[in-house]
Structure 1
């Protein structure tokens, strides 16, 4: 099944290299490994350490800083294969932040910060897994954030609250987004927001950071937290980019990252579909494999078709992102995320149905895939927000919110 799905797209030499290497790594971590991690709500340290040892956490770090210097085309392959390799969406999310949080450093940080941090990220000695954006009273409306960072001499003083911040427990630093100018003092609500690099150990030692784990029923391998900042002092040189333009820095590269999320959804869908097909071929009822029944066949075939379509769009968009072709990447990225998340959910739902009563048995894993697939329809944006973009920016319909 994996081979057939792979035929949906043709890969460049660099993409083939990534694919082979990631598949080799994933082959050392079987279903039991991921099942145990999910059962224990435990971060997959061994898996991430192996990826780190092979240099893959630095896939987007430029070569001059010791990274692989690759781009979106290679990263979609990497993250799809990680998800398809047994760990599902959680496995991909376990490393997603570590891969992508280096991008704002690369694009906007001072040369001193780049020199200090990026070689360590490429070598796996420094972890920037956490990104502090979402707030309880803002949600997807990021410009409504209330966390403040006020300049005080050579420092900024941060006060506020963040929620659903993942991987804080495995990070050395967090990229924190906060208002540096009150909302009522800026012409546009998207102005006056800035990005900072915060040393988490330093924040704890100051007594300025309190955190609490958020219990959840999906993506258990990746822990999420609610954070409170109380007079946290951040050195002024830890400002990333220009003060007041942080929101635009967050948006830059967002479409490429959204394509990678779509690839993670596709990998999860592949994994669920493979498990379902294997079970449908092996399980016999009334003397025949259940896969011979159209009631089993058709949902799996439809899931396959939808995953193929989502993969074509995702990889085509990744190719266009790396080229000089004029393209509305936002339209393709949002469409890809929407289609891939729905395709993953349909594949996982069909996998559970194929297993019958065993579909909810943890030993068969498909119930976890279904929970993760449902999560993909919520993060990093909801399906409705993806449709909002397409409706307004592509179809020219009036703004709906």
Structure 2
């Protein structure tokens, strides 16, 4: 396993960074976030350039690369403050699951659009009472002749207003045991009986969160992804990419915050000396730089393991990367604001507007505590605590 990037990967980084500079945080993202408008122009151009679906199979219009390259794309976008949240969902989770487990018809219908960004698929797993326990999902799918009938509710589902469909995690009933088993369904957002309600969030972000209501939504048999008996494995095939991409977004955002702090610390002069010359400023920034680089190494390891097919190794590393990326990102933003002093809280600088979004990374897409549970149980061999 080598983290010396190929010339193609270096070129990809440079190309994405060039695009992101055109859609930077202050000029493009922050004004959009203040109006709660999606980053549609950036998404469309990134799709046309092949960045959105770089991980999807070439035969379906993707780049034929891996999760390493997709996380690279998101990191570089986020490093300009232009991270695309729906990259975590549409190509990374939904695209991966459909590419691995979808029927040929599902692949033909969805993957080309997911690859070039002309189609978006949201991911519906979180529920009010289930929390992080995917085994307790209550959204149900029952057979009715050749169709499926879905009923239930989801919360904190990102970007549903931009999506053509939602990949819904529901449960079917095992007639032999009476137990409920998870299954995945592609649910078009214009399906009768499907309703979405925006959730009022106290943070500035371009992508809105939604509560979903499924009132006896009828879907054809072709909506089922893969096997109804293997959906738990299918589900987790998408969750490792989710964690890797969450780490990428956090690391990129942390890079953005530190870059702004370094710029300011070089320019801001007090008593004839740039403030960056003082260890009280320089040492905390250097420490955060180290922590971001360590998180990035774990993200690269997780992506490389995932692309190699080592699912357990990828799960451990992906959880660790998500943890490290979130913590380093929050610390980087806090230190950047501190470096700026009072100006760090002004609308002109825009760093304070990132606080809420950065804080989300500690609780989503998986909480810090659940990651610690995973590491304690699976990496350390301690008794399960929940």
Question: Under a length normalisation based on structure 1, what TM-score does the superposition of the two structures give?
Answer: 0.90
SS in 1 for 2:79: helix
2:109 is aligned, of 108, 111, 116, to: 116
Q: Distance in 2 between matches of 1:194 and 1:219?
A: 34
**Correspondence 1:31-110 to 2 at 5 A:** 31-87=26-82, 91-100=83-92, 101-110=94-103
2:119 is aligned, of 115, 122, 126, to: 126
Q: Partner residue of 1:169?
A: 161
SS in 1 for 2:324: helix
Q: Partner residue of 2:189?
A: 200
Q: Distance in 1 between matches of 2:310 and 2:165?
A: 36
**Correspondence 1:212-361 to 2 at 5 A:** 212-218=197-203, 220-323=205-308, 328-361=313-346
- 1:327-361 Cα shifts (integer Å, max 9, x gaps): 72222111111111111111111011111111211
Q: Partner residue of 2:146?
A: 154
SS in 2 for 1:86: coil
Cα deviation for residue 267 of structure 1 reads: 0.5
1:15 is aligned, of 9, 27, 35, to: 9
SS in 2 for 1:198: strand
- 1:104-162 Cα shifts (integer Å, max 9, x gaps): 1111111122122222333433222x101000010101111111111001111111100
1:136 is aligned, of 102, 118, 128, to: 128
8 Å contact kept, 2:90–2:123: no
Q: Distance in 1 between matches of 2:175 and 2:138?
A: 9
Cα deviation for residue 67 of structure 1 reads: 1.3
Matched, 1:400 2:379: no
Q: Distance in 2 between matches of 1:317 and 1:293?
A: 37
Cα deviation for residue 324 of structure 1 reads: 6.7
Matched, 1:378 2:363: yes
Q: Distance in 1 between matches of 2:375 and 2:176?
A: 30
Q: Distance in 2 between matches of 1:212 and 1:286?
A: 54
Could you say if the C-alpha distance between residues 135 and 278 of structure 1 is closer, same or farther in structure 2, counting changes exceeding 3 Å? same
Q: Partner residue of 1:4?
A: none
Cα deviation for residue 93 of structure 1 reads: 0.7
Question: Under a length normalisation based on structure 2, what TM-score does the superposition of the two structures give?
Answer: 0.94
SS in 1 for 2:168: strand
Task: Provide structure 1 residue ranges, at least 5 long, that are not aligned to the other structure.
Answer: 1-7
Could you say if the C-alpha distance between residues 127 and 325 of structure 1 is closer, same or farther in structure 2, counting changes exceeding 3 Å? closer
Cα deviation for residue 9 of structure 1 reads: 5.2
SS in 2 for 1:131: strand
Of 286-295 and 300-309, more deviation after overlay is shown by: 286-295
Task: Provide structure 2 residue ranges, at least 5 long, that are not aligned to the other structure.
Answer: none
SS in 2 for 1:355: helix
8 Å contact kept, 2:60–2:108: yes
Cα deviation for residue 185 of structure 1 reads: 3.9
SS in 1 for 2:185: strand
Q: Distance in 2 between matches of 1:155 and 1:106?
A: 23
Q: Distance in 2 between matches of 1:13 and 1:321?
A: 21
Could you say if the C-alpha distance between residues 324 and 122 of structure 1 is closer, same or farther in structure 2, counting changes exceeding 3 Å? closer
8 Å contact kept, 2:139–2:150: yes
Residue correspondences, number: 383
- 1:255-310 Cα shifts (integer Å, max 9, x gaps): 23322221211101100000011111111223322212222112111111111111
Of 62-71 and 12-21, more deviation after overlay is shown by: 12-21
Structural RMSD (CA): 2.1
